[in-house]
Amino acid sequence: MRVVIAGGHGKIAQLMHRELAGRGDTAVGLIRNPHHAAALTAAGAHPVVADLEHTGVDELTGHLADADAVVFAAGAGPGSGAARKDTVDRGAAVLLADAAQAAGVRRYLLVSSMGVEDAPAPGTDEVWAAYLWAKKAAEDDLTARDLDWTVLRPGRLTDDPPTGRITLDRHVGRGAVTRADVARVLVALLYAPASAGATLELVDGETPIADAVHAVTTG
């Protein structure tokens, strides 16, 4: 399987690169900064420099040639303002979907966030509210398309060691989840075509990843 991951230098993406490479798959990481290429190569991925805030759909479509799936794991990141939440967390996700359709790549996994369905409470930080809005707008755009999409909404992300045990369902209680387990779930979903059309929430739990993915795709 050839998988193109937007946000290729991010923590979740680099963990995915290693998971995919370990399975014998080909991981391609889209990165904005060419200085990050060495880190992707070390993780077993093929780096491609493509700044999704300044790349056109035709160029990006070319980068998706022969891909079996795309994963949007990009984000404006901490320290960015409300404007970049829109251009990255929404705009880049939309651009990737446009390119996927143009390239004939049907499988699209979107990393979103828990809480996007809830209106920000009064007094919510402006940048955090913009982030939630951007993630929900990206979801709405993707789920309206004729693609084999899956939306994954992780809880609060941690850098703790993976447990391999999760809670995964359409709706789960608030909680945390390790980035390593998020990466493993994303790879498992790539191998679970029946997860297409599902929006899933993810936190730490007691169910092995393979069993949890099987349950949401057969239940």
Pairing of strands 165-169, 207-208: antiparallel
As for how many domains the chain has, the answer is 1
CA distance linking residue 51 with residue 60, whole number of Å:
9
pLDDT of residue 76: 77
The total of other beta-carbon atoms located within 10 Å of residue 92's CB is 28
pLDDT of residue 117: 85
Give whole-number Cα distances, 2 to 60, 138, 159, in Å.
16, 23, 26
Domain ranges, residue 33: 2-218
pLDDT of residue 151: 98
Pairing of strands 207-208, 198-204: unpaired
Torsion, Cα 122 125 128 134, to 10 degrees, reads 60
- Spans in the chain with pLDDT lower than 70: 119, 219
Listed in order, strand segments (DSSP E) in the chain are 2-6, 26-31, 45-49, 69-72, 107-111, 148-154, 156-158, 165-169, 176-178, 198-204, 207-208
pLDDT of residue 219: 66
Amino acid sitting at position 128? W
The total of other beta-carbon atoms located within 10 Å of residue 180's CB is 21
Which CATH number does the domain housing residue 158 bear?
A: 3.40.50.720
pLDDT of residue 190: 97
Cβ-in-10-Å burial (0-12, 13-18, 19+) of 17 comes to buried
